[in-house]
Amino acid sequence: MLSTAYEPLTLGPITLPNRFIKAGANENMSKRGRPTRAMRMHHEALIKGGVGMTTMAYVAVEKDGRTLPDQVWIHDEAMADLRAVTDAVHGAGGKIAAQITHGGSFVTGVFVPRRLQSSVSGFNPAGLLRGNMFRRAMNEKDMARMVDLFVNAAERCFDAGFDAVEIHMGHGYLLNQFLSPLDNNRKDEYGGSAENRARFPARVLKAVKAAVGDRMAVIAKINVADGRSKGAQLEDGIVTAKVLEAAGADMLVLSGGRNVESGWFTFGSNMNLDAMLRVMGKWSLSGMAIASTQATVPKIEFKELYFWEYSTKIREAVNLPLAYLGGIKSADNVAQCMAAGFEAVQVARAFLREPDLVNRWREEGGESLCDNCNSCVAYIYHPAGTWCIHQPANKLEDNQILASAG
């Protein structure tokens, strides 16, 4: 079934040259809200290596939606640089998606001089290090404005040349703050049952689909589960998938976990604390905070296809296209996903180690060289942008705004 992964895939109005998608994973290849030359080189290299569609991670729908200070956000000054990235990807023969999102109350690197928006009000532990100590529950006016922001972001992404938008509804960001019972204890029509908790995220997707669905693929990234006993479980993920299918999603990406509460669940293995402290500084506030959280984290041994039991249950429950994500390490893993009825596979860490992995698998199959050390996750915070430590280090001078760097 490996050959199936090299067949074209139609998602809404677009067709991918194959079924390999670079997963949205924070590149830190942006400055002042604009992509850099490193971002362009990164995504172009992936397409040249055989990836059918690559994903630019974390494009915030407004400035206050950033989690980290340099992340891309939708504004006029970013448009030419975004177009430079999409032009490079198209010139190499591939497609590119923009992962659009809003941090809500999960804003860890920027101080926002007002209460952060979320599904609920109260204390906000995720924002402590930057003084974002409290959040407020969004009302109907807030929700209508947020829907408009997502629609505007999708339209601006189309103008910048993107082929798809991936609405991020996982990992603890704003839309996940509605989906997850770890945050959402609302008593109105947006809280309580899994169907109610999915109501606002579905509203966002439906509006985006109505606005750009004839021109772009509209994808959503969801959690199969939160990885915590009091969080969303598989049954909630199935409900979310069904609700988003009804709202018109062209494909769902099946991820899991929360950035603060269960990062080990997201990556199927523990944080590389040594690498994190090396990049962030052992005695920095962020470094000390991260180190303190690791004492109670369960010890997890990486296994291939670590979301399999969750994702195959969602596969059984819905009919729309699904992308399998989580622990794909070999050509055999890809073939297994195709045989199980997943329309696409998404990979992040293994593509950092080998940007040409898709081409190599087609020629000879075999295993990825990625050893799951998770150092690349730590290097999200490096000023040169993330890279695999088994590859040459990124050049700091490449991580500069395209308009000034050429």
Please list the active-site residues: 173
Distance CA(354)–CA(371), nearest Å, equals 12
Q: How far apart are CA 14 and CA 95, in angstroms?
A: 9
- Which own/partner contact pairs does 85-91 have at CB distance under 8 Å and 24+ positions apart? 85/35, 85/39, 85/40, 85/43, 85/56, 85/402, 86/160, 86/161, 86/162, 86/163, 87/161, 88/40, 88/43, 88/44, 89/43, 89/44, 89/47, 89/54, 90/161, 91/44
Q: Is 229 exposed, middle or buried (0-12, 13-18, 19+ CB in 10 A)?
A: exposed
- Is residue 208 within 8 A of residue 200, CB to CB? The reply is no
DSSP state of 341: T
Which of 144, 137, 135, 149 minimizes the C-alpha distance to 59? 149
Quick check: helix, strand or coil at residue 165? strand
Q: CA nearest 148: which of 219, 57, 210, 214?
A: 210
Given the DSSP bridges, would you call strands 116-118 and 134-137 parallel, antiparallel or unpaired? parallel
Closest residue by Cα to residue 183 from 236, 141, 220, 242: 236
